[in-house]
């Protein structure tokens, strides 16, 4: 018998790719999205599918949520404001759109009582600046350096509490940087947008030495489904990342080359004394993914290949090719 899955943020970048896979698996899928960063364009291919339903709804609308949650047995909570930099100038945005929204969703799940499992899109930002890399899930006392990371960590704690109190099966997925088709934020998209406006100079936030892992969205969705299939009881936390990492300067080289831009000069704009791109940025991050590999998961694409393929996809989508 097929399962009905509720995907919050299902019209967004990663959420829409998850929706594609869930439908291909034979699930019925209900999407809730307020379209603040998502787009109906990402899910338009499913609008006539009898196994698909879309509700334009803000997660802060508790009464509306009750109706949507009542259709599901599993919730994939991917709705969030993804812009880490926003929280440095307007921290209330991440509190309301990420943490308050997560509480409203879990409270609706509690009241309706039909949902068995909740999988939460958390972030490697929960760790903050760590003393040793790669970092695993057992890292003691994570200390986020952004409000975004702080509310993601608080969201994980809410899930754990609701699990103990109401018997939910929950998993928090601490994602690295996810890239791929449909993305409309992050460094690859930002570089292409800048190059379309100026073919001679590329502004790079930070000193270019920032180094992180990048994971192609298909690999990220595969990780989500591996965790869902293995989820048993209680609370689980999984790092979802890649085996390697890449610098911002290397990403700039890839994007400019794929865009056919030659002789581009780079202008480094460090926002902190140690060369970060913005306040709240983590300069170096790579995750230990041993735990999720125990579920049979392995990234098929390196950080380099993920960035390269994303650049090519976005050029086509944005008409820059």
Residue 81, token pair as written in the block: 């404001």
User: What kind and span of H or E run contains 235?
Assistant: strand 235-240
Q: Which member of 55, 139, 148, 166 is catalytic?
A: 148
Q: Give 321's pLDDT tier (boundaries 50, 70, 90).
A: low
**Is 291 part of a structural domain of the chain?**
no
Mean pLDDT, residues 199-215: 97
Length of the chain, in residues: 321
Same domain, 218 and 279: no
Mean pLDDT, residues 74-97: 89
Q: pTM value?
A: 0.96
Q: What percent of the chain lies above the pLDDT cut of 70?
A: 99
In the predicted structure, residue 1 carries a pLDDT above the cut 80:
no
Same domain, 198 and 138: no
Mean pLDDT of the chain: 96
Domain extent for 197: 180-213+244-284+301-317
pLDDT of residue 42: 98
Catalytic residue check, 304: no
How far apart (Å, rounded) are the C-alpha atoms in residues 235 and 122?
Answer: 14
Same domain, 109 and 228: yes
**Is 187 part of a structural domain of the chain?**
yes
For 142, other C-beta atoms within 10 Å of its C-beta total: 19
Which of 25, 28, 24 is closest to 7 using CA atoms? 28
Tokens 């709240």 -> residue: 280
pLDDT of residue 107: 97
- Give yes or no for a contact between 9 and 55, defined as CB atoms under 8 angstroms apart: no
Please report, for residues 17, 215, 265, 312, the alpha-carbon distance to residue 222 in angstroms, rounded to integers and kept in the order given. Answer: 10, 11, 38, 22
Tell me, what CATH number does 174's domain have?
Answer: 3.40.50.720
Same domain, 56 and 191: no
pLDDT of residue 68: 94
Q: Could you give the number of structural domains in the chain?
A: 2
Same domain, 114 and 149: yes
Q: Give 87's pLDDT tier (boundaries 50, 70, 90).
A: confident
Q: Kindly report which listed range (43-47, 63-67, 210-214) carries the lowest average pLDDT score.
A: 63-67
Q: Give 83's pLDDT tier (boundaries 50, 70, 90).
A: confident
> Which runs of consecutive H residues, i.e. helices, occur in the chain?
13-24, 62-69, 86-89, 91-94, 101-112, 147-166, 187-197, 217-230, 248-258, 290-293, 303-317
Mean pLDDT, residues 140-153: 96
In the predicted structure, residue 23 carries a pLDDT above the cut 90:
yes
Mean pLDDT, residues 150-155: 97
In the predicted structure, residue 2 carries a pLDDT above the cut 80:
no
CB neighbour list of residue 139: distance below 8 Å, 6 or more residues apart: 127, 130
Same domain, 90 and 194: no
Which of 203, 88, 105 is closest to 147 using CA atoms? 88
In the predicted structure, residue 27 carries a pLDDT above the cut 80:
yes
Q: Give 320's pLDDT tier (boundaries 50, 70, 90).
A: confident
Let me know if 167 is exposed, middle or buried by CB neighbors in 10 A (0-12, 13-18, 19+): exposed
Same domain, 170 and 31: yes
**Is 292 part of a structural domain of the chain?**
no
């Amino acid at each position: 018998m097929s399962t009905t899955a509720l995907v919050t943020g299902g019209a967004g970048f990663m959420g829409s790719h998850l929706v594609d896979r869930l439908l291909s698996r034979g699930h019925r899928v209900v999407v809730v999205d307020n379209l603040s960063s998502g787009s109906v364009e990402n899910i338009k291919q499913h609008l006539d599918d009898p196994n698909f339903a879309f509700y334009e709804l803000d997660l802060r609308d508790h009464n509306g949520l009750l109706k949507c949650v009542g259709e599901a047995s599993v919730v994939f909570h991917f709705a969030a404001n993804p812009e880490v930099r926003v929280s440095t100038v307007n921290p209330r945005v991440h509190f309301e759109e990420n943490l308050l929204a997560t509480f409203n969703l879990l409270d609706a799940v509690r009241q309706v009582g039909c949902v068995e499992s909740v999988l939460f899109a958390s972030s490697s930002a929960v760790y903050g600046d760590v003393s040793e890399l790669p970092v695993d899930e057992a890292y003691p006392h994570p200390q986020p350096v952004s409000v975004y990371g702080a509310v993601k960590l608080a969201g994980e704690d809410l899930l754990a509490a609701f699990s103990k109190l109401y018997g939910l099966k929950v998993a928090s997925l601490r994602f690295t940087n996810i890239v791929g088709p449909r993305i409309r934020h992050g460094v690859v998209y930002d570089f292409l947008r800048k190059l379309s406006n100026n073919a001679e100079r590329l502004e790079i936030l930070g000193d270019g030495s920032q180094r992180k892992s990048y994971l192609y969205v298909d690999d990220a969705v595969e990780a989500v489904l591996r965790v869902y299939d293995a989820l048993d009881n209680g609370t689980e936390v999984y790092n979802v990342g890649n085996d390697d990492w890449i610098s911002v300067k290397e990403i700039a080289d890839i994007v400019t080359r794929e865009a056919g831009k030659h002789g581009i000069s780079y202008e480094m704009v460090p926002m902190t004394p140690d060369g970060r791109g913005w306040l709240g940025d983590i300069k170096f991050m790579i995750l230990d993914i041993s735990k999720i590999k125990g579920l049979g998961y392995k990234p098929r694409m390196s950080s380099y290949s993920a960035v390269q393929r994303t650049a090519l996809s976005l050029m086509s989508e944005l008409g820059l090719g």
